[in-house]
Structure 1
């Protein structure tokens, strides 16, 4: 098939009875022209298309007199050699492709908020349902407690930094060393239960006691965070200040009363004197940066609830801000003016925002960022818990529905047939594949009509009929004869064939001969009516059958 497209519009709009016929003739005429892989249009069609496409002359009217008489010219729509620049993706548009992941994350965040809105109190971020909140607190992930390892790691980095920047005194070393050892020991008791089983018995027992109660676990985590903050606070307060940085003598300001005092006078050392970090606390601002590092551990501690993180965060940052302003305020200002005394733009910045307030601003920004991260982490954790809880509920409902379906199928099909269909791999088997088995000796009883019954035995085929609506049934000559025994019988009688009568007599049943009757589709058959059962004969038959079974088993 040649790849050739023809577009045609009627050129005879002033003759209403002929446009469709002539347009069809024109289209078939253009189709017969020997042009391949082209889009062929007439001038009338091109007028309606406008300047949307680039065209070139086809000159089909020179080959066909009909086109010349109709005053039509034809054109080919050609592919432009170069795409216009506006059709190409610009830098901004190409850059938009990189926002796919960001957009997806924003959508997930909105879904989390929308999903949690009716279930969570927005101040404490706890579930409104008390039972769900208790279940959430009791829920423990396999990695529960692993994030607290970051606390001794942060204290180790703080200790190394303080050893380089601040003077090494006996109280600093003792504070950092004892705090680090305590945090390491406390972290061992918060390791996952799977890990603690491989540790000594006493350690595993104590850890199980601590993690066995949610209240004890939260108190333990709060104690670890308080210990980490105290180590930094104690070193910050006890660090010796430089004796030449600030003159703490209160000098009366001229023109004022004695109660008005001047700000402390900064007496920085001359340029030839370099401040030695190990001789005094030359740069106390670093303790604020250590605090920022400590505050950054709160979003990582997913085990600690937001309602406990928030006061710990605010108290820690507030204490450091208070010390910066009221305890070390003058020292920080003098240190800033001394360190940056040769940089004009820094001095101008220091005049607008002193060092102590700048550090407080750093703490405030850090607190805001950490609070946002804490809220996001808490909401994500609670949303994941709700989704997991809903998934478990759906799994239970699906299992219950499966049990009901199996019970329904077992009411329609025998159990062995049901198990066959339930164990079939639907990905590899055909749905239309039916199930059938053949049996050599089966007794068939028909009693669908009141007071009429018929019995026959013999080979049958049993299986499932219907792939969409399965139905278990048996069929064969034995079934047909049993049905005829019922339909040709007499009211209040059970009619059987001669072969069935011979077998039932072995079990003590008595019969009355009815005679030869005409059975549709089978001809003349000798049938009998079941009259009763001799219990002694039945017991003897059962004993003989059991003896034969024992003898055959012994022979085997």
Structure 2
């Protein structure tokens, strides 16, 4: 309680005690101190300052000392209080800055990769890399956007064209927030080309079967994330079609899909970028570049797996792929609605099974 009181209150209390004690010593106990002085200083009692005055002076000196000490303690307490407030504010700023930085890193990198960097004390020269054996890769481009883009005055130097492209890419990004596409990771956009992959997130490697080994899982269990990527490609076509209706445009997607092993990693010291490399990526890119607008092209291996999930295909035939020779390819046209005992929510591109 005494620490919390103001120095003015303490001074008032000490003055009151000092005055009361001095009055008692000088007036009430005057004869007692005189007798004490007479007995102790019998020989030179007239040359000694009376004890009652000495005690009063001593009390006054003690009061001044205590007041100085109380004032010093109060100043230190105030400084400590202000320092605590400043430290608290700095902690809040650091927390807000860290949260902001984490959000930036999470936007630039996949969530599991961002957690790896934020949760470890890595040196700048250390390289993050991860190999995957079963990954789905998708390239989706809008070939006729380059014909639409113009820097003429009517488009404000091309800004309106970029605004429409931004709206398209943002709509594609919003699809990734849906639960059925949680295993899909956006890799990057190059111009009007959208690149995504499935199976790079830790949970997608097990597809909900974490207690079972990969070799013990069936094909349908192992490649569920790839089927989700195919669903995502079809949903992108539906999304672009809806945007065409709203903006009175006629943009069309040309999509290529592939599956296989890749090497994933983060490159760059500034603006680090998560990317994937490998033959699987190259073939997926070739499936997009050699495809036909409005279609999703896959190789035979992908066709054999995706048809088990109810996707419908049209055989295109063998085409020449640079570095691979002739590959048998198929166009994916849609997906039949699965027939289950429970009510299932179908995606926009799914049609009911009438069998």
TM-score normalized with structure 2 length: 0.58
**Divergent runs of 4+, >4 A:** none
Distance (Å, rounded) in 1 between the aligned partners of 2:315 and 2:32: 126
SS of the equivalent of 1:432 reads coil
User: 1:509, 1:534 within 8 Å by CA — same for their partners in 2?
Assistant: yes
Which of 114, 120, 126 is the aligned partner of 1:433? 126
Distance (Å, rounded) in 1 between the aligned partners of 2:46 and 2:133: 108
Residue 318 (str. 1) matches residue 19 (str. 2): yes
Residue 363 (str. 1) matches residue 64 (str. 2): no
User: 1:434, 1:467 within 8 Å by CA — same for their partners in 2?
Assistant: no
Distance (Å, rounded) in 1 between the aligned partners of 2:26 and 2:334: 112
Which of 455, 459, 464 is the aligned partner of 2:257? 455
Corresponding residue for 2:209?
A: none
Corresponding residue for 2:272?
A: 470
SS of the equivalent of 2:309 reads coil
Corresponding residue for 1:414?
A: 110
Q: CA deviation at 1:476?
A: 0.6
Corresponding residue for 2:313?
A: 511
Q: CA deviation at 1:305?
A: 4.9
> What does the per-residue CA deviation read over 1:401-459, in whole Å, with 9 as the maximum and x for residues that have no partner?
222222222222222222222221x2xx5332222222222111111435221111111
Q: CA deviation at 1:331?
A: 4.8
Cα separation, partners in 2 of 1:460 and 1:322, compared to 1, 3 Å: same
- The within-5 A match list for 1:208-357 is 301-302=2-3, 305-329=6-30, 331-333=32-34, 335-343=36-44, 347-348=46-47, 350=48, 353-357=49-53
Which of 493, 504, 507 is the aligned partner of 2:295? 493
Q: CA deviation at 1:302?
A: 3.0
User: 1:518, 1:524 within 8 Å by CA — same for their partners in 2?
Assistant: yes
User: 1:452, 1:486 within 8 Å by CA — same for their partners in 2?
Assistant: yes
SS of the equivalent of 2:263 reads strand
TM-score normalized with structure 1 length: 0.38
Distance (Å, rounded) in 2 between the aligned partners of 1:303 and 1:532: 76
Q: CA deviation at 1:318?
A: 0.8
Distance (Å, rounded) in 1 between the aligned partners of 2:8 and 2:279: 80
Residue 381 (str. 1) matches residue 82 (str. 2): no
> What does the per-residue CA deviation read over 1:487-514, in whole Å, with 9 as the maximum and x for residues that have no partner?
2222222222122122112222222233
Is there any run of 5+ residues in structure 1 with no aligned partner, and where? 1-217, 219-300, 541-556
Residue 534 (str. 1) matches residue 336 (str. 2): yes
Corresponding residue for 1:146?
A: none
Cα separation, partners in 2 of 1:497 and 1:318, compared to 1, 3 Å: same
Distance (Å, rounded) in 1 between the aligned partners of 2:300 and 2:130: 26
Residue 523 (str. 1) matches residue 325 (str. 2): yes
Corresponding residue for 2:68?
A: 372
Q: CA deviation at 1:398?
A: 2.0
Q: CA deviation at 1:388?
A: 2.1
Is there any run of 5+ residues in structure 2 with no aligned partner, and where? 144-252, 341-355
Cα separation, partners in 2 of 1:339 and 1:441, compared to 1, 3 Å: same
Corresponding residue for 1:64?
A: none
Q: CA deviation at 1:354?
A: 4.1
User: 1:433, 1:467 within 8 Å by CA — same for their partners in 2?
Assistant: no
SS of the equivalent of 1:411 reads helix
Distance (Å, rounded) in 2 between the aligned partners of 1:338 and 1:397: 73
Distance (Å, rounded) in 2 between the aligned partners of 1:473 and 1:403: 24
> What does the per-residue CA deviation read over 1:243-267, in whole Å, with 9 as the maximum and x for residues that have no partner?
xxxxxxxxxxxxxxxxxxxxxxxxx
Q: CA deviation at 1:386?
A: 2.4
Corresponding residue for 1:393?
A: 89
SS of the equivalent of 2:296 reads strand
> What does the per-residue CA deviation read over 1:168-217, in whole Å, with 9 as the maximum and x for residues that have no partner?
xxxxxxxxxxxxxxxxxxxxxxxxxxxxxxxxxxxxxxxxxxxxxxxxxx
- The within-5 A match list for 1:478-489 is 478-489=280-291
Distance (Å, rounded) in 1 between the aligned partners of 2:129 and 2:141: 24
Bigger drift between 472-481 and 327-336 goes to 327-336
Distance (Å, rounded) in 2 between the aligned partners of 1:328 and 1:441: 101
Distance (Å, rounded) in 2 between the aligned partners of 1:309 and 1:469: 61
Distance (Å, rounded) in 1 between the aligned partners of 2:142 and 2:295: 12
Corresponding residue for 1:197?
A: none
Which has the higher Rg, Structure 1 or Structure 2? 1
User: 1:337, 1:347 within 8 Å by CA — same for their partners in 2?
Assistant: no
Distance (Å, rounded) in 2 between the aligned partners of 1:355 and 1:506: 111
Corresponding residue for 1:445?
A: 138
